Structure 1
Amino acid sequence: MTAIKRWAVLLTSFFIISYELLRHEFILQKISSKTDMVISSVLFIIGAFVFSEFLFGYIKKIENQRIQQEREAKALFDNSIDGIFVFQTNGYLVDMNQGAEEMSGWRLKDVQGKLKFESIFYLESSTLSLQAFLKGKQTSVRIENGLLIAKDGAELPISATFSQIHNDYMGDTKIAFIVRDLTQQKQMADIIKGLYQEATQKQFEAETQYWIANKLASIRELTADNRQQIFQNVAEEIKKLLNCCNVGLFLNNFSKDHLDTVAVTNLPQQKNMMRSLERAKYKKNFGKGQVLTEVQMNGQKSFTYPLCCENLVLGYLWVSDKKDRVWSLHQQELLKSIINILTISLENLTMYQKMKDIATLEERERLAREMHDGLAQNISSIHMKIELIKKLAISNQGNKREILQNAVLEVSQIVNEAYQEVRQNLFNLMSPFYSEGEFFELLKNYINQFQELNQIDVEFSNQLQEQNKSFELSESKKIQVVRILQEALSNVRRHSKCKKAFISIFQKGDGAYVITVEDKGIGFLADDLQTTNHYGLRTMKDRANLIKGNLVIQTKPNAGTKVELTIPAGGDDCV
């Protein structure tokens, strides 16, 4: 507005001066003074009217713009969700919008000119005060963290901005303090932080449980040398996971009818206490899900959880904690999960031990059958021949000499066969398939040793290697395949009466593997498979069924024998 005034004075002065110069130079010499007065008056009136219209129209336009801006500013001031507090330079409140009233709980009419800045707001640093802002040269300052003290004494977290308001008409300055309530933002931040901490905790719990399961799975036998250290490490991790005072693990020793303490995480006196509890309480067979609770002498509460497989208690998890601790639902679920992991791991160990015992008994039975079929009969023949030799030697008859020599030769032959039978059984027991290495390399080594030991030529055709295909069977299935191959080759050695055998392996179009063992020996009647007790052949069929395979035996007298094993690819493990 000051600029408009200046321009009005300048333009008026310029018009008057210009007119006077023209009048004195040109008009006064040609017209009378009266005429000059009339013309000047008319020109001044017209000029004043035109200039006034222009000037006042421009001023009105500017005034309308200012009014519109004030209305917009007022609308923003009144309707802003942020709180806007207006203070004088002396720090007293002079105005505030509806957002500020709702935020603070104060009403403007009650506190106008009475409430000071320091009584409403708390800023962490003195350099962020209202007076510090006034002394500075900045027109606006941002404050990230502060507190608004409401009428009811509540403290609201806020972010705010200092801003100067200059009044050119009044010639004074006011301070606008624009405030944003961070309560919901802080609540949301706390929720996100809580969710992140919860997710981190659950990740830690999941990783720890996986580690525990992995460690327990590494124990192959309950009598393993490293089992004590593994159980101890597991107990320490359970203690961290549950955040409790002490953890212990007991296993039932069924052979000695007592509990073995396999892991304890705390002091020796607590171990002794657990042993006394073991003797006094834990020899019962608790049902699954039952808990024995004891309050310890030192103010701790202990819980004993049986690790049950069906109706059999495999062991116990012992947990002690502060007497006054209340376990949350999540912690109880976590404990149940740990108990399940321990139970499943112990159940797997027990099943593995049972499977190993069954495999041992099965191998003993197989070896006993082979000894009965071969070695025992040879020894029986040796015994009968020796008795014959003894009788012939006693009779001292000359015509018996040839019979005696034949008997000695037969005994020598039978002894040699028995020796070969023993060597073959030992060779099968020390099979290289129990060592580390690629399956087909181990198979080739076995075939080479079999040839050297029995003087039987074995031709091996491996189409899988020729086609760069792998033998994708589980280790347990491969073991059964090896047993079938061993039995088939043993039958070639014992019964075929030929010195050459053929082994081939290939894959069919449907993915199934086919393994054949063939000889060109004497063969036998196929009907004999149903009418006589061929233990070896029956065992091979049982093993094939175990791996969901199919075993077919093709044979004729004097036409050799062919054993064909078909195994579906993939699938589950042995059943």
Structure 2
Amino acid sequence: MVKKPSYEELEQRVEELEKEATKLKQSDSALKESEERYRAIVAAFDGLIYVCSRDYRVEFMNDSLIERTGYDATGELCYKAMHELDSVCPWCVNEQVFRGETVRWEVQSPKDNHWYCVVNTPIYHLNGSVSKQSMILDITNRKQMEAQLRNAHDELAQQVKERTAELVEANEELKQFFQTVTDAIMLFDAGTRQFIDVNEAALSLYGYSREEFLKLRHQNITAEPENSDVSIRQTLEGKLVRIPVRYHKKKDGTIFPVEISTSMFTLRNRKVLCGVVRDITERKQAEEALRLERDNLRNIFESIEDGIYIVNQQYDIQYVNPVLVKDFGSYEGIKCYKYFHDRDEICTWCKNQDVFAGKTVHWEWYSFKNERTFDLIDTPMTLPDGTIGKLEIFRDITERKRAEDLVRNLSQMLMQAQERERQMISYELHDSIAQNLSTLKIDCNLIFDDQPAISHELKVKMAKHSNLIDQTITAVRNLSYDLRPPALDEMGIVKALEIYCEEFSENSGLKVDFQSAGLHSFDMDSNTEIHIYRLVQEGLNNIRKHADATQATIKLVGASPNIILRIEDNGKGFDVKARELALSNEKRLGLRSMKERVNLLQGQMTIQSRPMQGTKIFIKIPFKERKSEPEKEHINH
């Protein structure tokens, strides 16, 4: 018979059961909390998660993996769902995991060729079974970056190798350059001033052997120790890199000028100064010779009667000799256009740019400032700073220009008087002599009308005299027309030239083509008209006498403010330069006379010709409008 428990025992048992129930509740709560935490971790995990059983069946897939594979493969074989394989993956680690190991590894999936980092851990169930949990991260980008990094590392290693070889080669080249450069190069300790190394040029320049030189200090080669110390301190402070002139001494005591370029660098934790030294003895001698030459040139400039000034490319006056200072005043700090022309901007006619480009320009200039005319020669010159400036020579030609104007005016008056005389003779020939001859011809024709007894021989003789008188009348009228063409006064220059060219063509057999244009608005003065007429006359007569031409062309064009006359032929041509040189020795006045007429009209005449290629004469005359002139008596021919 079983003994019944006592009340105390029952009460104690109830308390134990309550404690166990409390523990179970706490365990259940902790388990739920752990499960919630696990679910939160799974939900927050950015990668892929799946769980499979020992027989490779998928038990769980998170949303990311479902999205990646395209469906929920729960219940399917993991190697089929994950990698589309028909058998267990050759890299499978399930056995290790089911033995309780956590396995971390990386794999490239044959399904999408992506790389993944996989962490496999065992999961223990309450029923005692074990599953495998795989947490997967796509590390394709990292793998690509690692590959790129490896490639970059390999490339860098190759570049370092190549650069090292280049540096070794450059070091050898630098050593060779150091020894072969023509300037002396010296390295010395910045603290002790002891020479560390020198090149062959330094040994040759100073006269020491290498062993002797490397025992010296900097003060042993300088003839200016105090100045040299200052320069060394400035170099150490980074303030000095070039010393234009310093005096050094050689082993034999010779003092000579040098130019020094300095630099500083650190070698094995000590400061080293490098000096590149160039012997400038010859340059100093050349500078001294140049200074003497410049002084001599200045003395010439100071004593010459012509004005001289020098200007730079910024139009700043660099020098003015006393002649110009006397005429234009002090020049310091003044631009050339202000000094000579009282202008505040560059002159529109300025020749500076042509001169700075290397051209020499010869021209004339009238100064309104002092009412003088100058003949100017502008030529490029090198200024002390190495830039190109302009040297201009002024020659006062005011009196010469006045004399030329006087000669021109006198010549103009002489030609006008000549034309008036020709006109008077022309009128006299036409109105008097020609009329008298006409009357005489009529009388000769009528003298035997009432005398039938006159012999036939006498009548024939009288007829011959009548014909001679008729020829004389024609010659007198032609001479009258040549002296003063009546068409010029009655019909103007264009019609007069047209008639003359037609008559010349008929009389000479030379085909003459006359053309005119643009003259309808030009009311030329009579002086210009007669000169143009005479130029055409002289031009055609020259062609008839000397050109052996078959055709000539006369073109008269009004191109305001000028009148252009062109005379061309297809004749044998000539050497223009040779003809101009021979003009002074020849008696022929054709071309010379034409030039003088053009000069009187203040025009320009240019001749183009080559042997067997004809001749072209271009004449440009400034247009002068007709002034009010007193009416003249014109004869009606």
Q: TM-score, normalised by structure 2?
A: 0.30
Higher relative contact order (CA 8 A, sep 6+): 1
Q: TM-score, normalised by structure 1?
A: 0.33
